[in-house]
A and B are shown apart, each in its own frame.
Chain A
Amino acid sequence: MRKERFVIDYQDKVISIRGLYKAFDDFEVLKGVDLDLYRGENLVVLGKSGTGKSVLIKIISGLLRPDAGSVNVLGKDVDKINRKELNALRLKVGFSFQNSALYDSMTVQENLEFPLKRHDPSLTQKQVNSFINIVLEAVGLGQTADQMPSELSGGQRKRIGIARTLILKPDIMLYDEPTAGLDPITSQEINNLINAVQQRFNTSSIIITHDLTCARETGDRLVMLLDGQFQRQGTFDEVFSTDDERVQAFYNYNFID
């Protein structure tokens, strides 16, 4: 199932990365990466495990610092702003973790309340409950509010993780391997959810994945990270219509059409 095209404003860059370098000890992960994300766009970053895809979005969200280069998010240079400005920016950038990263000592309701109440203490409990119902309904898990994360399936945890980021009404969503470890049907549900989030909450997203089904179904544009640089970019068909053996190998070993 191919996604419906969403209106993308190609004049408005919400993320702009130039000459990004990052190394861990002697291992260079990113070697001069350039990337733009436009308002309303779902951009998929493809690549094998260990190629630095997750490092890229951790730098965007300020969890890691780049060694060189600039990362501009919603007009702010992430590496140059102070802590207060970074926190203000982080409220506009949702991050969905590979393993959901739900607070396991809290119920689903408390997981969702926690960021919301802290950033807007003036909200009444009725308003908080209303926001929680909206996001839980959006991810299709309205009945799970009183459950603990350990009582949820992997797919449900992913959905609650996405709900927790949506509750702060972000402009940008960063998905780290959203379908990793899920069965094909649940993966499909997550793909549909990513597209639904884009349309309902008007988000621009970067989706990190090595799952080509996810890439094809959620991405308006794809970029492929190879040897620390983006080697290919375009639509799904454009990226894979090449004789480059590395790209073809990735396609052949990972995708069953």
Chain B
Amino acid sequence: MDQTNDPPRRKFLISRKIDKAFLDLHKVYIFNASIFREMFSRPFEFREVLNQFYEVGVRSLPLITLTGFIIGVVFTNQSRPSLATFGATSWLPSLISIAIVRALAPLVTSIITAARVGSNIGAELGSMRVTEQIDAMEVSAINPFKYLVVTRVLATTLMVPLLMLYTVLVGLLGSYMNVSANEQTSFITFMVKVFDAISFLDLFSSIIKSVVFGYTIGMISCYKGYYSSKGTEGVGKAANSSVVTAIILVFLEELISLQIIGALRNM
């Protein structure tokens, strides 16, 4: 048997897993850079963007309405005993509005969007990848990245803030109905207390947060679906990991934004 004195070839820079993690990170970076590059270059996919606005925005409304309203009712009901201990139930509208506007609405809207839309995008693009539909677009000289990815990311980025504002409205409506039934507070009084409690920074920061959450959900779902492999098993994994990864990232971003907004408030 021939033997050489050559040192064994190193296949990996550090180890297979660490190398892969860095490569994946680089792939995500390239994916994000491509989204921004394609978003602002012609031709614009207006029709598909409108389709996706409908899919992400309008079709999420029933679920958002239900969950937003119930959260408003339940959170008000659960907060009442604590405030009643100090005879401060009149503070309910202020407490609820701050909780809904600052945290509940952006988070609930994002979680629902990740679950409903993110899984849908992950499965749809994953299925298109494994059945070569994405390749079919490519060989027809159609840019599948722009048509499938950019339109969906744009839709989630712009629709989640709007859905968040809608969640605020239905959440406050649920809260008002509960307060009205128990404390006989008028709608005007309720709304005055609400607007006294929340500031421009509260609303603005929630809108910005929702834009970031929406982008994260769209980007992660598209990334998982666009690069899915291994047949139908891969499609299932893409759908599942779209939701899980997006929700984890949304909570991490919430934690970071809490620090940033807290610092802004203290300035």
Interface residues of A (CB under 8 A from B): 58, 61-63, 86-88, 90-91, 93-95, 97-99, 101-104, 114-115, 118-119, 164-165, 168
Contacts and interface: CB of A to CB of B under 8 A. Distances in A.
B140 A168 contact: yes
B208 interface: no
Contacts of A101: 131-133, 135-136
Interface residues of B, number: 12
Among B132, B139, B142, the one with the most A-chain Cβ atoms within 10 Å of its Cβ is: B139
B139 A103 contact: no
B138 interface: yes
Say what secondary structure dominates the interface of chain B. Answer: helix
Given A95-B135, A101-B131, 12 more contacts: A58-B135, A62-B139, A63-B139, A87-B141, A90-B139, A95-B139, A102-B133, A102-B136, A103-B133, A103-B136, A114-B140, A164-B136
Interface string B183-205: 00000000000000000000000
A88 B141 contact: yes
B142 A115 contact: yes
A142 to B, nearest CB: 22
A104 B131 contact: yes
A182 B139 CA distance: 24
A217 B138 CA distance: 30
Contacts of A164: 136, 140
Contacts of B141: 86-88, 90-91, 115, 119
B41 to A, nearest CB: 11
Contacts of A102: 133, 136
Interface string B57-98: 000000000000000000000000000000000000000000
A129 B132 CA distance: 26
A103 to B, nearest CB: 6
B76 to A, nearest CB: 42
A87 B146 CA distance: 14
Nearest to B127: A104
Nearest to B135: A63
Among B128, B132, B135, the one with the most A-chain Cβ atoms within 10 Å of its Cβ is: B132
11 contacts: A87-B141, A90-B138, A94-B139, A95-B139, A102-B136, A103-B128, A104-B131, A119-B141, A164-B136, A164-B140, A168-B140
A21 B107 CA distance: 51
A112 to B, nearest CB: 11
A88 B139 CA distance: 10
Contacts of B127: 104
Contacts of A95: 135-136, 139
A165 B139 CA distance: 9
Interface in B110-148: 127-128, 131-133, 135-136, 138-142
A161 to B, nearest CB: 8
Among A91, A101, A168, the one with the most B-chain Cβ atoms within 10 Å of its Cβ is: A101
A118 B146 CA distance: 13
A211 to B, nearest CB: 19
Contacts of B139: 61-63, 90, 93-95
A159 to B, nearest CB: 15
B138 A63 contact: yes
A147 B131 CA distance: 19
B132 A97 contact: yes
A61 B137 CA distance: 12
A95 B139 CA distance: 7
Contacts of A93: 139
Contacts of A103: 128, 133, 136
A90 to B, nearest CB: 4
Contacts of B135: 58, 63, 95, 97, 101
Contacts of A97: 132, 135-136
B133 A90 contact: no
B142 A99 contact: no
Among B128, B140, B142, the one with the most A-chain Cβ atoms within 10 Å of its Cβ is: B140
A104 B128 CA distance: 9
Nearest to B138: A63
A164 B136 CA distance: 10
A115 B138 contact: no
B1 to A, nearest CB: 21
Nearest to B140: A115
Contacts of A114: 140, 142
Nearest to A25: B11
A63 B136 CA distance: 10
B45 to A, nearest CB: 10
Which 5 pairs, one residue from A and one from B, show the smallest C-beta to C-beta distance? A87-B141, A101-B136, A101-B132, A95-B139, A115-B140
